Amino acid sequence: MDLKYFTECILEWWGQLSYTVWMYFALLLPLTALIYQAAGKKNRRYVLLAASWFFFFSLSGILLIANILTSAFVWVVGNKLESVNADKSIKRKARKKKKKQILVISVVLLLLVLVIFKYLDFLGLNIVRITQIAGIPFDWKVLGLAVPVGISYYTLEAIAYLSDVYWEKTEAEKSFLNVALFMSFFPKLIEGPITRYGGVPELFAGDGLVLDNVAYGYQRILWGLFKKLVIADQLAPAVNSLYDGDYMDGGVALFAALAFTIQEYMDFSGAIDIVIGSARIFNVKLAENFRQPFFAKNASDFWRRWHITLGAFFRDYIFYPISLSKNTAKLSGKVKKVCGASVGRFVTPAISLFFVWLSNGLWHGPRWTYVFYGMYYFVLILIENIVEEPFLKLLERLKLKETSAPVRVFRYVKLLFIVMIGEMIFRAESLSKGFDMLKCIFTDLRFDVMAENLENIGIDRYGYIPIIGGLIVVMIVETLKEIGVPLRAKLQALPVPVRFGFWYVCIFVVIIFGAYGTGYDVEDLIYAQF
Amino acid sequence: MRSRRVVWFFIIFILLLFITSGLVSPYGGEVYDIKSTNQRIEDIRVEKDNTIDVLFAGNSLVFRDLSPLQMWGLEGITSYDLSDGAMRLCDQYTLIQNACITQKPELIVLETCVFFTDASPYKDDFALPTNLIEKIFPIFHYHTFYKGLSVSDPDIDARRLLKGFDPSFDTKPYTGDPDYMADRGEVTDIPELNRRYLEDIMAFCKENDIKVMLIALPSPVNYDMSKHNSIAGWAKERDIEFVDLNLLTDELGIDWNTDTKDEGDHLNFEGSKKVSSYIAEHITKGYGLSDHRGDPEYAQWEESYEEAGLY
């Protein structure tokens, strides 16, 4: 074998690193853990940083510089904010003003970098559209810039960190190494969860490996692989073929939306399980990003259970600042005067929610479908806020308890429908395609075509075995978690041979029913694109 | 104590990987598509032992163009299409070995389109470390083995009835160059890996006293003279017959307006009738195959012929 061929093989191989490929969890992770353990307390942070930069470099190459420069910027600004804070020679008001200026400028700069990498073409092309309508000659050459991996996540983390230093909720980090590690820590790099600087002290502690944490980490990784490879990736060809196909009727649209909703949940929550498990190997406890979202009672509750860290970011850094701002209070007061208190009390949340959901939509990427997705939830949650009280009164009149079975079933079905419609538009190639799908449900609802073609959409009859079986397992586990059964503790209490048997069965289910190797395409992580 | 438990966990895990790998690996060698290979092995096992005289091996050209039941009706010979879509030579080699466990064919006809397509058992030849893991623990390579297990499936039943033949009744004319076999003196080389698999097949056939014949089925999409030249040279070196039907389309009466299902890639049912008729006569005469019609041992062939009702 010649050296050139061998080098090409290795390069191509490393270029495919992702959380769900074996070289990540069976090679990179254990290798890093071994070196980490051997390095000693003082040097362990260096090992994690080297592994993170290596991981970043393998995915984004030279764009690693963007991450390092952002880390350096955040480190400098954080310390600057703190030095202004500590500078008692400046009057309090002037100090606050200066701090605010630094924060605003730095947040704008961080967002500017994000916009340049992610949204520039989107903006340019939309300006072309507008200028065309206005008859002004303007052209935009699509740049197609490569985007640094995880930029949407680490930019939000940077903003949160600087805001927390500004609000004096957290101290500025003196060590550049720690900031760089926080901004690039490889387990959370691709898909989050969006982590607060103060939330991961273990990351910098350099404590040695703990067998319980390593075991927990790998068990969580296995659960993530199960969701991703056995369910999400087995479903992926069907979702792609239904969304890319020429034919559409109401049944097909509903099936496509349901399939994508399942795929997305299994893909994202599975990846997050792998992320949390990977971090735990190094003793780092990352925040949970999901909490049985389909048990939510309404859309706003859903978003407190789905992509929790993104919702929490928007709550803390957009919703509260806008809600508490003087301008919003002024506007709310004016509306109250004109329209009365019953309308006025919705003004502040409506304004804040609007910016939260606009940001949520835009955060997912430069597409109108995502903007619509954000606005869709804005409207729904606003309606929910308005009708919740009358709805509870109606229940009272009907002598139905909120926790009674019919009410809960009604809420679950309503939520599933709301989520599916949202996902239908979210996944569609364009807004018009998404609306066409939605229209089909009301104008051309039939199920015969879908039923006849279940095996012609990229899944053979055997492909449904892991999907349906896997979903049943996930539903049982989620139900038990929702009612508070400590599953892992119960498992740990079993005799060793039974436990061994259980884990072997789990591992072989993933090995046999996972969608990888011959006959499958490698499915990228959905949320890695955002 | 706990570390020892971890070590035991991994030792047992490795053992389980070896055991399951042994259970799912096909007999004969590495294959690319375990699902299709297992299905085709199951198909031929349904046939009564030692009743198939001819095996047609190749990719989709074989199961679209060559009809064993038609050949039975015309010459009374028993044959089987041991083929699948985009079949690779590695799979073909394993299939032939498996088919010969229960059958003793006199002749194997190799369709030559596969001589030029990917022959590797691996999805990505550049993924060396992944391929190495799959070599050591084939369970990772053959984990979809369950998809090839026998089930009641109308498509599979229909294909078994037709002895591997899967005709198409669609028509999409070929409108390209009618002189696609013009000789420009070019030669398309047979890749090294394909040559190795072909040598393995030849050695297996020699060992089992099976004659080999090469055939190129009419397909302007898949053939040209540079491939013909290459195959002809390879066949000549080994002293085996090579029949290129792309040079005989006039003699066969192939009409590219009516006889192809997909613009010259495969033949449709009408085209298959012309090719099957020619091949049946050619191999019966050329290789001295017996007419089994009327032999009670082969009554099932007569039943299938009647049940199919195609001819």
Q: Does residue A1 register a pLDDT over 60?
A: no
Q: Does residue B150 register a pLDDT over 70?
A: no
Of B32, B124, B143, which has the smallest distance from its Cβ to A511's Cβ? B143
A458: left (phi over 0), alpha (psi -120 to 50) or beta: left
pLDDT at B200: 95
- Tell me the CA end-to-end span of chain B in Å, nearest whole number: 74
Helix or strand (DSSP H, E) at B54: strand B54-58
A520 in the same domain as A396: yes
| Rounded average pLDDT over A186-201 | 91
pLDDT at A523: 67
The last residue of a domain, from among A207, A239, A257? A207
Hey, are the CB atoms on A9 and B127 less than 8 Å from each other?
A: yes
- Residue A7, CB-side half-sphere exposure with 13 Å CA sphere: 3
CA–CA min distance A517, chain B (Å): 7
The last residue of a domain, from among A178, A207, A236? A207
Report pLDDT digits (tens) over A307-363: 999 999 999 998 888 888 888 778 777 877 777 777 667 777 788 888 888 888 888
CB count, 10 Å around CB of A376?
18
Average pLDDT, chain A: 88
For the residues of B226-289, what is the DSSP string, one character each? HHHHHHHHHHHHHT-EEEEGGG-HHHHT--TTTSBSSTTSSB-HHHHHHHHHHHHHHHHHHHTP
A495 in the same domain as A374: yes
In percent, the amount of chain A with pLDDT more than 70 equals: 97
| Rounded average pLDDT over A262-268 | 93
Report pLDDT digits (tens) over A202-252: 999 989 999 999 999 999 999 999 999 999 999 999 998 888 888 888 888
Residues of B numbered 22-61 whose beta carbons fall under 8 angstroms of chain A's beta carbons: which are they? 32-35
A47 in the same domain as A167: yes
Are A85 and A107 in contact by the 8 Å Cβ rule? The answer is no
pLDDT at B271: 95
B253: left (phi over 0), alpha (psi -120 to 50) or beta: left
Residue A105 belongs to a domain: yes
A166 in the same domain as A134: yes
Hey, are the CB atoms on A504 and B33 less than 8 Å from each other?
A: no
Between A518 and B282, whose confidence is greater? Answer: B282
Total domains in the fold of chain A: 2
Q: Does residue A16 register a pLDDT over 90?
A: no
What range does the domain containing A472 cover?
214-316+359-529
Of B13, B130, B147, which has the smallest distance from its Cβ to A462's Cβ? B147
Mutation for A interface: B143, B145, B153, B192, most A CBs within 10 A: B143
Between B52 and A15, whose confidence is greater? Answer: B52
DSSP A454: T
Report pLDDT digits (tens) over B216-272: 999 999 999 999 999 999 999 999 999 999 999 999 999 999 999 999 999 999 999
Residue A353 belongs to a domain: no
Lowest mean pLDDT among A502-511, B119-128, B139-148: B119-128
- Residue A253, CB-side half-sphere exposure with 13 Å CA sphere: 24
Q: CB of B18 within 8 Å of any CB in chain A?
A: no
Between A165 and A13, whose confidence is greater? Answer: A165
Of B6, B128, B144, which has the smallest distance from its Cβ to A9's Cβ? B128
pLDDT at A385: 83
pLDDT at A530: 66
Residue A3 belongs to a domain: no
Hey, are the CB atoms on B144 and A211 less than 8 Å from each other?
A: no
Report pLDDT digits (tens) over B192-232: 999 999 999 999 999 999 999 999 999 999 999 999 999 99
Cβ contacts (< 8 Å) between B38 and chain A: which residues? none
A260 in the same domain as A173: no
| Rounded average pLDDT over A286-293 | 93
Residue A36 belongs to a domain: no
Residue A377 belongs to a domain: yes
Task: State whether residue B144 is helix, strand or coil.
Answer: coil
Q: Does residue A525 register a pLDDT over 80?
A: no
Of B6, B134, B146, which has the smallest distance from its Cβ to A462's Cβ? B146
Cα(A348)–Cα(A356) distance, rounded to whole angstroms?
A: 12
Cα(A164)–Cα(A166) distance, rounded to whole angstroms?
A: 5
Hey, are the CB atoms on B13 and A514 less than 8 Å from each other?
A: no
pLDDT at B125: 78
Hey, are the CB atoms on A512 and B2 less than 8 Å from each other?
A: no
Cβ contacts (< 8 Å) between B141 and chain A: which residues? 517-518
Report pLDDT digits (tens) over A355-413: 888 888 888 888 889 999 999 999 998 888 888 888 888 888 888 887 888 888 888 88
Residue A322 belongs to a domain: no
Q: CB of B1 within 8 Å of any CB in chain A?
A: no
Of B3, B20, B147, which has the smallest distance from its Cβ to A508's Cβ? B20
pLDDT confidence tier of residue B142, bands split at 50, 70 and 90: very high
Hey, are the CB atoms on B147 and A460 less than 8 Å from each other?
A: yes
| Rounded average pLDDT over A499-503 | 93
pLDDT at B254: 94
Residue B107 β-bridge partners: B54, B211
Cα(A48)–Cα(A177) distance, rounded to whole angstroms?
A: 10
The last residue of a domain, from among A207, A241, A269? A207
Hey, are the CB atoms on B123 and A13 less than 8 Å from each other?
A: no
Hey, are the CB atoms on B151 and A8 less than 8 Å from each other?
A: no
Tokens of residue B256, six digits: 């590219």
| Rounded average pLDDT over A27-40 | 93
A178 in the same domain as A243: no
Helix or strand (DSSP H, E) at A204: helix A202-205
Hey, are the CB atoms on B130 and A22 less than 8 Å from each other?
A: yes
A140 in the same domain as A123: yes
A221 in the same domain as A186: no
Are B158 and B309 in contact by the 8 Å Cβ rule? The answer is no
Hey, are the CB atoms on A519 and B141 less than 8 Å from each other?
A: no
Domains of chain B: 2-308 (3.40.50.1110)
Q: Does residue A136 register a pLDDT over 60?
A: yes
pLDDT at B152: 65
A494 in the same domain as A435: yes
A119 in the same domain as A65: yes
> Which strands form B79-83's sheet, in the order they lie side by side?
B79-83, B54-58, B107-111, B211-216, B241-244
Q: CB of B87 within 8 Å of any CB in chain A?
A: no
Report pLDDT digits (tens) over B25-82: 989 889 999 988 988 998 999 999 999 999 999 999 999 999 999 999 999 999 999 9
Are A436 and A379 in contact by the 8 Å Cβ rule? The answer is no
pLDDT at A345: 72
| Rounded average pLDDT over A261-284 | 94
CB count, 10 Å around CB of A330?
10
